[in-house]
Amino acid sequence: MAFATRAIESLPDTQVVATSRMYWSAPAGGVARCPFINAVVVVETTLSPGELVRACREIEARAGRRPSRRWADRVLDIDLLLVEGLVSRDPEATVPHPRLVDRPFALVPLVEAWPEAANPRTRRRYARLAAAQVPLAVAGALPRPFPEISRARDGATAMKFFLDTANLDEIREAASWGIIDGVTTNPSLIAKEGRDFVDTIYQICTIVDGPVSAETVAVDAPKMIEEGRLLARVHRNVVVKVPLTIEGIKCCKALSSEGIRVNVTLCFQPMQALIAAKAGATYISPFLGRLDDVSEDGMDLIQKIVQIYANYPELKTQVLSASIRHPLHMVQAAMAGSDVATAPFKVYKALYSHPLTDKGNAAFLKDWETVPDRDIIGQVNRWLASRG
């Protein structure tokens, strides 16, 4: 739901001006096995109803909806219910929605988000219908209307790419690509390289001019704070990484109040992320891959944290999607609005690659062989000289 709301808000010339809460409803039609969650968003847009419906079909597809039989379980189903003052029989975008008045699960959230919503034919308010008064179970809250919650418009940049490794060769090569914004390490990654910890961190900081996470290993807050203060002195790029334990959060609070940046790691549930943010963390690191490994939906965690942080704009903690195992995790992290994603070297290499890119490039270069003068630099220089 949060994904759909954000996606709708991102449509051209479209602003979400109100949202309802989310409501449970029993599946209609006797086909689906799971209950549904319904909500309404009210938008102001210059898109036509047809354009809006087509854009919503694309959002459904991006959310993973595939063609299925009518009434079947579906991951996301966006319907156009009403356009102010418009009656349209366009089969693609019929408004008002023909079954709106029979559906409490649509009417209840509609009148909650838009109390003045009225039938454009009769001008009677939908709020006066009995179906709009049916009590429904609340499933939760949708994001508050944008742009109030939009972090992207609050000075944030596009998702930052951090490299998740302590291998200096990998870091040097990835840094040469010009797209790496920072580095994360952990005790396991450091141990794997077999090099001196502090020197490794220092070397990484000299290669990448961005945040470099160095993790504490003490188990009690006073020792952790001491480790963190010292690590922060190694290089101005160091971000102190602490585990999401009570001691780690105490340490986060202490270091962040001294102006030392802290990355709180090993986050596996949304409230841990809120705790870290309240303790002043610069980054929270939810672990996607390790949740997927135990049959939990890592991306669901990222979406929830992004939404929770967005609900409270005073929280400045950045969501750093970690434990990324493959390119699809990167896609999902970006779609969820993660501020940062950290991934191993091999995942970044895979991000560049597509067989059709290689095939297409090979074909272009082969065709170029048939061009008589293939020296672009010489041609352009001569052309520029001829123009004085």
- Verify binding: residue 342, ligand E4P, rule CB under 6 A: yes
Residue 175 Cβ, how far from ligand E4P at the closest point, in Å? 18
Which of 4-12, 29-37, 285-293, 370-378 is the region at the interface with ligand E4P (rule: CB under 6 A)? 285-293
State the Cα–Cα distance between residues 50 and 295, nearest whole angstrom.
Answer: 39
* Nearer Cβ to ligand E4P (60/215): 215
The CA-atom distances, in angstroms, between 6 and each of 1, 45, 140, 150, 193 are 9, 14, 16, 9, 41
List 3, 23, 146, 287, residue binding ligand E4P (CB under 6 A): 287
* Nearer Cβ to ligand E4P (105/287): 287
Pick the catalytic residue from 160, 192, 223, 241: 241
State the Cα–Cα distance between residues 226 and 233, nearest whole angstrom.
Answer: 11
- Verify binding: residue 53, ligand E4P, rule CB under 6 A: no
* Pair of tokens at residue 171: 């870091």
Residue 164 Cβ, how far from ligand E4P at the closest point, in Å? 5
* Nearer Cβ to ligand E4P (140/289): 289
State the Cα–Cα distance between residues 296 and 151, nearest whole angstrom.
Answer: 27
Which of 58-66, 114-122, 128-136, 281-289 is the region at the interface with ligand E4P (rule: CB under 6 A)? 281-289
State the Cα–Cα distance between residues 322 and 349, nearest whole angstrom.
Answer: 17
* Pair of tokens at residue 229: 């203060």
From the number of C-beta atoms within 10 Å of its C-beta (0-12, 13-18, 19+), residue 204 rates as: buried
* Nearer Cβ to ligand E4P (346/382): 346
Pairing of strands 14-19, 41-45: antiparallel
Each residue 65-84 as x (binds ligand E4P by CB under 6 A) or -, in order, gives --------------------
Residue 306 Cβ, how far from ligand E4P at the closest point, in Å? 17
Q: What b/e sequence results for 237-253 when a residue is b if at least 16 CB atoms lie within 10 Å of its CB, and e otherwise?
A: bbbbbbbbbebbbbbbb
State the Cα–Cα distance between residues 323 and 339, nearest whole angstrom.
Answer: 15
Residue 332 Cβ, how far from ligand E4P at the closest point, in Å? 15
- Verify binding: residue 285, ligand E4P, rule CB under 6 A: yes
User: How many binding residues for ligand E4P (CB under 6 A)?
Assistant: 11
Residue 364 Cβ, how far from ligand E4P at the closest point, in Å? 37
State the Cα–Cα distance between residues 327 and 261, nearest whole angstrom.
Answer: 28
Each residue 161-190 as x (binds ligand E4P by CB under 6 A) or -, in order, gives ---x-------------------x-x----
Residue 47 Cβ, how far from ligand E4P at the closest point, in Å? 39
278 is catalytic: no
* Pair of tokens at residue 27: 């599946």
- Verify binding: residue 326, ligand E4P, rule CB under 6 A: no
State the Cα–Cα distance between residues 381 and 379, nearest whole angstrom.
Answer: 6
- Verify binding: residue 290, ligand E4P, rule CB under 6 A: yes
* Pair of tokens at residue 22: 């989310």
List 27, 210, 289, 327, residue binding ligand E4P (CB under 6 A): 289
Q: For residues 209 and 182, is the Cβ–Cβ distance under 8 A?
A: no
State the Cα–Cα distance between residues 292 and 325, nearest whole angstrom.
Answer: 10
Residue 239 Cβ, how far from ligand E4P at the closest point, in Å? 10
- Verify binding: residue 265, ligand E4P, rule CB under 6 A: yes
| Residues recognised as catalytic | 241
List of residues contacting ligand E4P (CB under 6 A):
164, 184, 186, 265, 285, 287, 289-290, 322-323, 342
